[in-house]
Chains A and B, each alone.
Chain A
């Protein structure tokens, strides 16, 4: 368990804020783009998907962190990280879906198709792996997962707003559909570069 970084309260806040704004998974790290473009059409869908992502990110971090530090590392199996994490996350999400279907049908129908969609979402895997790479302790890992999920939520909600505006505008024929979407996404992404440095200076 050596080399793990313990953060104080201020560090936690900085971690949370920078996970949302500076290291935004969608807009800065370009992970989870497929769901970002796929489900951001309507605000309610975008919200549902994002809540599911936050939930799954935190859940998988809570499970994979102990696996890494109590199972893989002590036996020198750190290199199996990716494959084990994928396996565990996929099984976990399926399990959660079964449980939700049985006990909270309302939530299940609200999350609906999004849960299985997230099973193989690269953003979820990235959060869990980066938590280990950055050597965060358990609390910091959870906070980072929450922040990353919130960042995803922010990007989705913002972009669904952008899309609803684009829908009412006339687009040049050549740009219709996906091309204009990618252009818009890149502009939103560039706007997020403005946050770089702000968080550290604000709290640091």
Chain B
């Protein structure tokens, strides 16, 4: 009995000595941190999404405090509010944040395409992709297993009819979904745009058509009809140059497979302003 007590006491004493030593050391030898750092860090949303290009919110706050000329408008999830607060804190000019949303470039749900296998493996797109290039007939399309929905910090992505949908009204534009999609279907685009191509298949038109009736068959009708020449078909897939696009939506009207879609994709920040 005595032995146990002695052992417990001695380990406790060693622990306390270490703790006191560390506590004293951290007080005595504290390095002054820039006092603006906690304030700057407080402004940031804390999602640690990496949309700013730094390693988490701490990394961005450090860069803002220490680095010269680091822009205050890099936090997409924080949008204008955060940018304004940061500019005030650091005494630099306010810069508008381009609010962004995630869009999924596939609308191949159960009604227009089908599975090529009865997949019963791990419920993860990344795993399914390793097996013969994915579960769907179209190997470019959404497999609907929800890797993106799982990482979304704001529950903006839901799974319906076998594919993922983004509720742009909840999307903060952090881009975490885009980085996990094994088919690279998700793009982060400015939320003021109204027209998107909802297909990523770069196979020839006839092949695409057999796989999915919603897919881009590269008929080039959009390219010919676009009044400003913003749409081009490259690698059998229509692509929109948003620098030229006027959001007239003419391409969406003429698209025979309706894979170009006109809609409202304004994100969560736009809703705050309204």
Contact = CB atoms under 8 A, between A and B. Distances in A.
Interface of A: 71, 75-77, 80, 83-84, 87-88, 91, 94-95, 98-99, 101-103, 105
A118 to B, nearest CB: 16
A102 B29 contact: yes
A102 B22 contact: no
Given A98-B29, A99-B29, A101-B31, A80 B11 contact: yes
Main secondary structure of the interface of B (DSSP, over half): helix
Contact of B31 (A76, A83, A84, A102): A102
B29 A77 contact: no
A84 B25 contact: no
Interface string B243-272: 000000000000000000000000000000
B154 interface: no
A87 B10 contact: no
A4 B29 CA distance: 39
B11 A95 contact: no
B112 interface: no
A95 B3 contact: no
A91 B11 contact: no
B6 A84 contact: no
A91 B20 CA distance: 10
Nearest to B30: A102
B14 interface: yes
Contact of B22 (A75, A83, A98): A98
A101 B29 CA distance: 8
Contacts of A88: 14, 18
Contacts of B3: 76
Contacts of A91: 18-19, 21-22
A97 to B, nearest CB: 10
B70 interface: no
A87 B18 contact: yes
Given A98-B29, A99-B25, A102-B29, A77 B7 contact: yes
Contacts of A83: 11
Interface string B15-49: 10011011001100111000000000000000000
Contact of B21 (A76, A95, A101, A102): A95
21 contacts: A71-B10, A75-B10, A80-B7, A80-B10, A80-B11, A83-B11, A84-B11, A87-B15, A87-B18, A88-B14, A91-B21, A91-B22, A95-B25, A98-B25, A99-B25, A99-B29, A101-B29, A101-B31, A102-B31, A103-B29, A105-B31
A76 B2 CA distance: 12
A95 B10 contact: no
